[in-house]
Amino acid sequence: MSQALRTLEVPVKGMDCAECTQHVQHAIAQLPGVESVDVLLSSEKAVIRLDPARVDLPAIRRAVASVGNYSVPDTASAEPTASLPTRDFNRQLVTLLVGVFGVVLSIVVIGEWLGVFEALGELVPFPIGVVLVVLGGWPIFVNVIRATLKRQVISHTLMTIGALAALAVGEWVTAAIVVVFMRVGEYVESFTTESARRAVKELTASAPQTARVEREGAEVELPVAQVVAGETVIVRPGEKIPVDGEVIAGHATVDQSAITGESMPVEVAPGSHVFAATLAKLGGLRVKTMRVGAETTFGRVVKMVEEAEVHRADVQRFADRFSGYYLPIVAGLAALTFLISRNPLSTAAVLLVACSCSIALATPIAMLASIGASAKRGLLIKGGKYLEILARADVLLVDKTGTLTLGQPQITDVIPLDGLAASEVLALAASAERYSEHPLAEAVRAAARAQSLPLAEPDNFEAIPGLGLRAQVNGSVVMIGNRRLIPTSQSVPSAAELEAQGKTLLFVARDGVLVGVLAAADTLRPEVPAALAEARAIGMRHIELLTGDNERTAAALAEQLGVTYRAHLLPEDKIAVVKDYQAKGHTVVMVGDGVNDAPALAQADVGIAMGTAGTDIAVDAAHVALMREDWALVPEVLRIARRTMGVVKTNLAFTAVYNIAGLALAAFGFLPPVFAAAAQSLPDLGILANSAKLLRQR
């Protein structure tokens, strides 16, 4: 009987474009015992669902090697490497552009126009020239032969045929130049793909590799993978925290930008939770380990960014399908060119100028760059599919408590009566509420702490369910609660106005006399109005508040924000609202806190979970996770999506126009084979230059 299916992740080296991933994926999928496989270009690995009784790692290695210059190295030796800083990357990109154009100008223009190629062809015997061509292009020719035996047509198939056509008419120098540009093209494709991977690699390289653990009374430094949950990890000033855990001793300022993207550090103390890959500054810590490695918040972020490639955008799927038809079309066009013109050089030029890799790279390069760069800033986008949907979304539905608001009541107004000052009323109420566990009691105490008010010790504390409380403070009987607890005919200035705003009123009486009123509300996040205004400007035509709160509170908040609302909603009601908009043809984005809103987040075309650092259910339920509680990130992710799709469309348009123009010029004899071979390498550079700006989003 077969063992249970399990998931195996194996690194795959040598993949430079989407076409490569398709070949590797097809080879692995053909193995008996493989149920499913996803080959990820960004992280250079294959995620395989398999039956270990029927397929093993050596079989996978052989299958991968059989389809090209791809290999499955020993996973133990695969170390994460940091990529170049942005400034060095830009310098290298410029160098590459200048270098390639320099090679094109030197070889093609000087060589062709000054007759260098003709002289070289006369000096070197044809058989020796053929040997040089074969030796120079041997790795590529082997790949083409392997693909042909498997009935596959790859991008180098056309160029190889073009080189053979040049040899067939005695132009070995042309064939040699074709080989040179095939090798240059390989490097350009490799560089293009590697530059898109750089943000993902920077994420991976950010994880600390070792931890200092307290074992048997001594500090032991060992690989992070060997740390066990429950152990105490020692973190010194200036070191990265290697695990997720709870601080049990020490104080420090921690830079959490690796998780949240927030540049401002936070203060941590005993009882605080800390995350792996964050940096401890100005203090040391002792941390009780809760999660290690891939199970940490940072580990889950890296894994989801790597696997975001699985959720491909529709435009990317179209490009992948088109690439499969493109090469046969070009081969047919080359055959038609030969039938009409009887010119083998024009036929060879048609085969040489075609650049299928640029079509396949146009979308994933931009998506990888955008998703990787966004993750470093606290925006976890689970795939290009969701970037594409966000770019066309027109409805924004938002939860209230914990999403638009801070999720905890705060005292917003203090109305003193009977000659008392506002601070006296607040101190009296906070003293009576000193040991109450009610959420409004904590709001009263927090307001008193904010003003550093001295509190008295209460006696004879009595909670009155549904009404409020009674206690003795400094010998007086103090009562705090609603109108039913403290009925009064006394007119309270602004009370009606405060209630109309959806605020909860707490009446404070001393020895039976009303001395003040406190107004409490779940306060709006300060950045929300500006963020919603930006969302409207970006293209959100409908913004609606969904809440389980009462009608009065919902109406007050909706009026303040200038949005529509629906109140008294249960989780299933929110799902119904999402479905209703979708049935009318709208593309819906739902923003929630990721816990009670999980069903609606999953139902929406794109669910955005707010402030998900350290939480499992929010990251799992949503399609986009904001790692810090900052509403400014919502319009930011909308802008990123629209900008990314703009780059994708520009890439595809540029590639289409370039290839059509090149094929037309080659077919009509205006583009010699040497120029055609040089031209096929340039679209990749154009795509890279256009997509590179996504790595530097502001």
CA distance readout (Å), 415 to 57, 419, 424, 469, 495: 73, 11, 11, 19, 9
- Hey, how many other C-beta atoms are within 10 angstroms of the C-beta on 169? 15
Q: Are the C-beta atoms of 697 and 640 separated by less than 8 Å?
A: yes
Helix (H, G, I), strand (E, B) or coil at 474: coil
Long-range contact pairs involving 520-523 (C-beta distance under 8 Å, separation at least 24): 520/409, 520/410, 520/411, 520/412, 520/440, 520/443, 520/444, 521/409, 521/410, 521/412, 522/400, 522/401, 522/405, 522/406, 522/407, 522/408, 522/409, 522/410, 523/405, 523/406, 523/410, 523/412
User: Distance (Å, rounded) from C-alpha 40 to C-alpha 380?
Assistant: 17
SS3 per-residue string spanning 226-258:
HCCCCCEEEECCCCECCCEEEEEECCEEEECHH
Active site residue 580: no
Q: Are the C-beta atoms of 655 and 359 separated by less than 8 Å?
A: yes
Helix (H, G, I), strand (E, B) or coil at 169: coil
The length of the chain is 698
CA distance readout (Å), 459 to 397, 430, 466: 48, 13, 21
User: Distance (Å, rounded) from C-alpha 2 to C-alpha 51?
Assistant: 7
The closest alpha carbon to 361, from 387, 306, 323, 311, belongs to 323
Residue 609 tokens, joined = 């979970």
Q: Are the C-beta atoms of 14 and 20 separated by less than 8 Å?
A: yes
User: Distance (Å, rounded) from C-alpha 140 to C-alpha 124?
Assistant: 24
CA distance readout (Å), 682 to 101, 132, 324, 650: 9, 25, 21, 15
Single out the catalytic residue among 399, 522, 593, 605.
399
User: Distance (Å, rounded) from C-alpha 643 to C-alpha 649?
Assistant: 10
**Active site amino acids:** 399
